[in-house]
Amino acid sequence: MSNKWTTSTAALARHLAKNTHIIARHPHASQLHTYITQLIHTIEHTINRPPPPRFCGQCDTTTPTGHLCGHALYAPREHTETTCPHCHTTHHIDQLYQRTLDAAEHLAFTRETLIGNQRTHDAELYSEGLMGELDEFVHWQAFNRWVRERKLLPAMWLQPNGQHTHTPSPGARPEYRLGDLRYLRRTTKHQNDKTTSL
123 domain residue, yes or no:
yes
Domain count, the chain: 3
> Do residues 55 and 38 both lie within one domain?
no
Could you report the per-residue pLDDT of 22-73, keeping only the tens digit for each? 888 888 888 888 888 888 888 877 777 777 788 888 899 998 888 888 888 9
Residue finishing a domain among 60, 91, 122? 91
Q: Clarify whether residues 15 and 85 are in a common domain.
A: no
Q: Concatenated DSSP letters for the chain?
A: ---TT---HHHHHHHHHHTHHHHHHSTTHHHHHHHHHHHHHHHHHHHSPPPPPEEEEE--PBPTTS-B---EEEE-TT-SEEE-TTT--EEEHHHHHHHHHHHHTT-EEEHHHHH---S-S-TTT---HHHHHTT----HHHHHHHHHTTSS--SEEE-TTS-EESS--TT-EEEEEHHHHHHHHHHHHHHHHHHHH-
Residue 95 and residue 3: Cα distance in Å, rounded?
Answer: 66
Same domain, 82 and 150: no
112 and 192 within one domain: yes
Residue 85 has pLDDT above 70, yes or no: yes
Residue 163 within a domain: yes
In angstroms, the CA 46 to CA 129 distance is 23
- Is 184 within 8 Å of 151 (Cβ atoms)? yes
In a domain, 98, yes or no: no
Same domain, 65 and 127: no
pTM: 0.53
Report the C-alpha gap between 9 and 55 in whole angstroms: 43
Give residue 1's pLDDT: 44
Residues 195 and 198: their CA atoms lie apart, in Å, by 5
Q: Is residue 97 part of a domain?
A: no
How many C-beta neighbours within 10 Å does residue 167 have? 8
pLDDT score at 64: 87
Range 7-23 average pLDDT:
82
Q: Is the pLDDT of residue 3 over 60?
A: no
- The model's confidence at residue 16, banded by pLDDT at 50, 70 and 90, is confident
Which residue type is seen at 21? H
Mean confidence (pLDDT) of the chain:
85
> Comparing 143 with 63, which gets the higher pLDDT?
143
pLDDT tens figures, 89-110: 999 999 998 887 777 788 899 9
- Assess whether pLDDT exceeds 50 at residue 14: yes
Average pLDDT over residues 115-139: 86
pLDDT at 194: 66
Q: pLDDT > 70: what percent of the chain?
A: 93
Task: Return the pLDDT at 39.
Answer: 85
Please return the burial class of 111, using the count of CB atoms within 10 Å of its CB with bins 0-12, 13-18 and 19+: buried
Q: What is the pLDDT of residue 165?
A: 92
My answer on whether 109 and 191 are in the same domain is yes
Q: Are residues 116 and 170 in the same domain?
A: yes
- On whether both 164 and 186 belong to a single domain, the answer is yes
CA separation for the pair 177, 105 (Å, rounded):
7
Residues 118 and 174 in one domain: yes
Instruction: Specify if 3 maps to a domain.
Output: no
- Together in a domain, 74 and 28: no
Query: Are residues 182 and 140 part of one domain?
Result: yes
Residues 33 and 54 occupy one common structural domain:
no
Q: Is residue 73 in a domain?
A: yes
Is residue 2 in a domain? no
Whether the per-residue pLDDT at 9 is higher than 50: the answer is yes
Domain that holds residue 80: 50-91
Assigned domain for 79 exists: yes
